[in-house]
Structure 1
């Protein structure tokens, strides 16, 4: 989980504003006017305009009439991360092994603030539902990986998360009650895994386990998921938990040989 605190003296506000603008575009806001960008990021129109024009000049943002949008060049930043961290070498093989064996989907994620960021993902699914592609981020409270990652935090950080998070009902089954969520996190800590049913989106039943560093601390999570109605949490645990734990152990061992990826994941 990202720690918040005072900004260092060398903090570059202009760079932070530019990154904030890039992060403001999403599926719900693929195009925005200058005023919409400024309002969404919390900048003055003048400051937003300077950042937008800079990003446009660099090729990361385009414009259609008065509406701005992201450009494909931005994908180069993501691919640079993917290849420099050796994700294909270290993570994808184990995910493919899980999917080849059980079908459905498998992911690795890590905490970033209140969210889980999916670092790697393999799927055979084609259903229309929440997309768990690499780079996607979802509320930690609504995912099996998020609950496993939260379970790996000290109690005071779990309490801080529960005080700060802003839950919303993603489905009728999404748990947004802080006491109930804390209880689920404690169960995940006790059991060493977490399951969820239709918490993030309808049709997703998932099981996650921690990936631990050499000191035993949780640095990432690994999951497998299937279709609600076709598989139950109990079946996931019975049929897939040993394989998932074995894959998590193998990934943890691999990370000792790839310090950059281990650092990326927070270990």
Structure 2
């Protein structure tokens, strides 16, 4: 929940509680009891019950006995965003072009706190590995796109972001040393791209570049990834980096034609 000191006077707590409940019902917790919901979102059982009943009445939550779950109606919220922003018209064709050329997978993500959120994705991969579907979020420090996005923050924001980071190992190769992460992000700033190997999950080697707006601010990140062992960071830099940069530039030029997408990707 938001720190009370950061809340504007018009802040509606009941709405925030309901949204927190919707976010809590994810892939790791597809169903929860009332007490589990209350504990997960740090609410009293009475407050959680009121929010759950409201969301159930609105059709966004259903229940199986004493366990609550999301309903298909929740998809209308995501589809409305997808349709209003022009993601299908602008971003998806660019990703399809990259996948047609290189195979593997390509994604676009934005920064949300210490996580990245995937807003567009195309893949030909079918192996068992971390999912990169639209809407999924992962720790930014362990992804190539996250490192690009953090590298693009203004100096003060970047230092504050690093100071508040509490990295946890996701694989035996995940870098969790704050000093080393800071050094790697500074290297990303200098190079204009990031590469990662098995940082988020075993088998993922990726390269990412920034997407910048007309003012030069990094507003999103674009990546291309493949299987560790079949590709190397050096090969990705040699073969894919020029195309990624060209694609990122093309997307940036299109933002002026799609004002909602430009606002969504704004700093």
TM-score w.r.t. the length of structure 1 is 0.97
Aligned to 1:98: 98
Q: Which residue of 2 aligns with 1:144?
A: 144
**Counterpart-to-counterpart distance in 1, 2:207 and 2:17:** 37
1:155, CA displacement in angstroms? 2.0
CA deviations over 1:116-155 (Å, ceiling 9, x no partner): 0001000000011110111010000000000000000122
**Residue 120 in 1 paired to residue 152 in 2?**
no
1:56 corresponds to 2:63: no
For each residue in 1:161-187, what CA deviation from the matched residue of structure 2 results, as whole angstroms up to 9, or x when unmatched? 122122111101111111010111011
Distance 1:192 1:34 in 2: 47
25-34 vs 156-165, greater mean Cα deviation = 156-165
1:230 match: 230
Contact 2:33 2:66 (8 Å CA) reproduced: yes
The whole-number CA distance in structure 1 between the counterparts of 2:25 and 2:164 is 23
Long gaps (5+) in structure 2: none
Question: Could you say if the C-alpha distance between residues 5 and 103 of structure 1 is closer, same or farther in structure 2, counting changes exceeding 3 Å?
Answer: farther
How do 1:245-256 residues align onto structure 2 when only pairs under 5 Å count? 245-256=245-256
Counterpart of 2:210 in structure 1 is 210
| Secondary structure, aligned partner of 1:100 | helix
What residue is the counterpart of 1:176 in the other structure?
Answer: 176
Report deviation, 1:157.
1.3
Provide the rounded CA distance (Å) in 2 between the counterparts of 1:141 and 1:20. 24
Change (3 A) 1:249 1:237: same
How far residue 3 of structure 1 moved from its aligned partner, in angstroms, is: 12
Q: Which sections of structure 1, spanning at least 5 residues, go unmatched?
A: none
**Cα distance, 1:4 vs structure 2:** 10
- Structure 1 stretches of 4+ with a deviation exceeding 4 A read 2-5
> Structure 2: how far apart are the matches of 1:228 and 1:3?
41
Matches of 2:149 and 2:30, distance apart in 1: 30
Are 1:31 and 2:56 counterparts?
no
The yes-or-no answer on 1:190 pairing with 2:194 is no
